[in-house]
A and B are shown apart, each in its own frame.
Chain A
Amino acid sequence: MFKIKVDMEKCQHYGQCVYEAPNIFKLNENDKLEYLASADESERDNVKASADICPMQAIQIID
């Protein structure tokens, strides 16, 4: 397991992360980002890809 942190001051809710890790991130019906604060190791590559694709660089993996 590892932890995920999104800096919600930076996040602009573009939702680019959703395509890389659909099990972790989603845009809700109000266009706001929702995410799981921790994930199984099998999601690590996907979350890393989400962190890379985030235009605001707001996603952090915390070990």
Chain B
Amino acid sequence: MNLINGPMLKTLIVGAGMGGLRTAESLRRYKYPGQIQILGDEWHMPYNRPPLSKELLAKDQDLDQVSFPIRHDDLNAEFSLGDSVQQLSLEQQSVTLQSGKKIEFDFLVAATGLRSRKLVFPNNSQNGRFALRTFDDAKAIRQAAESGKDVVILGTGFIGLEVAATLKGLGCRVKIVAMEDIPLGLVLGESFGKEILRRHESKGIDFYLSNRVIDLVGDSAITHVKLVDGQTLTCDIFIEAIGSEANVEWLEGNELDLSDGLLTDSSLRAVKNNGTSVSNLFAVGDIARYPNLRFGLPPRRIEHWNIPLESSKRTAREIVHQILPGSIVGFENESGFNPMPTFWSDQFDISILSFGDLRLADENRLLEGSLDGEFAFGYYKNESLVAVAGVGMKSTIHSLRKEIAT
């Protein structure tokens, strides 16, 4: 790596979400001495995404309700918004933007996050069709979601179920279509998932499981969706909540492993195809695929809200350590980036909290409570606890967190 900006070295952060903002804040906290520029493709300053499917959608809140407070004097960073990044050249230490602008850097932080996955149908009508990832997405859904409208949600993941609950609360008729036979069954286990299904059904949500939408009906706007089993459902608002794709196309052509996000080492430095780490390119947030030594794993991505936050701090420490070795007390003795994954979800009065890595489990057991009330499940791999999740019972879940294998 060459310090091409001389004494006023520059860290370029691509992505103006929570991960980008927290990286900049952490750099300043650890006394990073150079310039910081943050690029975002949305026009909005960094905001918090979890409320988009819940409070913001329910109460039609504005951006100021979800924007992160920023102390600009302390942050001393330049924001360049509304322009998306097109191409990285590691060799030239520069990125090119859609506007044609070229920006050079000494350190690059890739925090471009995810976009919603969308299907292609024979009738690819877009009017009445939505996904939920951004503030603008949430506002568009809210604007369309009048009481009495027919909503069809594709997918029984957390976003699909949260949006279903919120729109039901606004008086919409809500149907959910999914390929799975049990909502969240593959994530939380069969009994947990069946209980989630029962509670949603008791609130009046209709499920079409082990099923698929094969086409949309309607000319100027969607009026119906056709299912693979032959049924046709009335539909004013069609929401695809079928997961997401990593925004990594701009990193292509640099001999990086982009097969699932951006592969990094345990210090979140990008790894080249030849196995060497790139000392000035870091991945932060949803796109980072890193080895989490806590679980002794091959590298994996985790799309949980705490990962952008924790990976941003780790990255900032690494950058400052490279520039000012010894300035961060104890850094040399730190192990790699080993976060404890955690997530939560609120759907109607169902409050789910989890710690650990559920995907590792080969078995789960009800540990506390009962399925029709509050409960906590333990998730095991080879008899050792790798995750815990439950409804309510937060103190219990926090105590079980301590027993998760490390």
Instruction: Annotate B305-318 by CB proximity to A: 1 below 8 A, 0 otherwise.
Output: 11001000000000
Given the interface pairs A52-B22, A53-B309, the reply to whether A16 lies near B395 with Cβ below 8 Å is no
Check: B158 CB closer than 8 A to any chain A CB: no
Out of A14, A16, A31, name the residue touching B393 (CB < 8 Å). Answer: A31
Q: How far is the CB of A24 from chain B (nearest CB, A)?
A: 16
CB atoms of A31 and B309 under 8 A apart: no
A22-63 vs B, CB cutoff 8 Å, 1 = contact: the mask equals 000001110100000000000000000000110111000000
Pick from B22, B68, B309, B394: contact of A13, CB below 8 A.
B394
* Cα distance, A56 to B127, chains bound together (Å): 32
Question: What total of chain A residues lie within 8 Å of the partner, measured CB to CB?
Answer: 15
Docked-complex contact B395 and A55, CB < 8 angstroms: no
Most central of A15, A28, A52 by chain B CB within 10 Å: A52
Whether A12 and B48, one on each chain, are in contact in the complex, defined by CB atoms closer than 8 angstroms, is: no
- Chain B residue at smallest Cβ distance from A33: B394
Cβ of A18 within 8 Å of any chain B Cβ, yes or no, is yes
Interface set, chain B 49-65, CB cutoff 8 A to A: 50-51
**B interface, over-half SS:** mixed
- Number of residues of chain B lying within 8 A (CB) of chain A: 19
Q: Are A55 and B309 in contact (CB under 8 A)?
A: no
Let me know if A53 and B395 touch, CB within 8 A.
no
- Residues of chain A within 8 A (CB-CB) of B50 are 55-56
User: Contact: B22 with A14, CB < 8 Å?
Assistant: no
Given the interface pairs A12-B344, A12-B346, the reply to whether A18 lies near B306 with Cβ below 8 Å is: no
Q: Which of B305, B351, B393, B398 contacts A12 (CB 8 A)?
A: B351
B367-406 vs A, CB cutoff 8 Å, 1 = contact: the mask equals 0000000000000000000000000111100100000000
- Assess whether B167 is interfacial by the CB under 8 Å rule: no
In the docked arrangement, what's the CA distance between A60 and B389, Å? 28
Check if B159 is an interface residue, CB within 8 A of chain A.
no
When distances are taken between beta carbons in the complex, the residues of chain A under 8 Å from B351 are: 12
Residues of chain A within 8 A of B306, CB atoms compared: 16, 53
Complex Cα distance A31/B223, Å? 45
Contacts of B305 in A (CB 8 A): 55
| Set A12, A27, A56: member contacting B395, Cβ < 8 A | A27
Q: How far is it, in angstroms, between the C-alpha of A34 and the C-alpha of B242 when the chains are bound?
A: 38
Docked CA distance A13–B346 (Å): 12
- Give the shortest distance, in Å, between A50 (CB) and chain B (any CB): 11
Seed contacts A12-B344, A14-B353, A15-B398; 19 additional CB < 8 Å A-B pairs: A12-B346, A14-B344, A14-B394, A15-B394, A16-B342, A18-B398, A27-B394, A27-B395, A27-B398, A28-B395, A31-B392, A31-B395, A52-B309, A53-B306, A53-B309, A55-B50, A55-B344, A57-B66, A57-B68
A-B contact pairs, 9 of them (CB 8 A): A12-B351, A14-B394, A15-B398, A16-B342, A27-B398, A29-B395, A55-B50, A55-B305, A55-B344
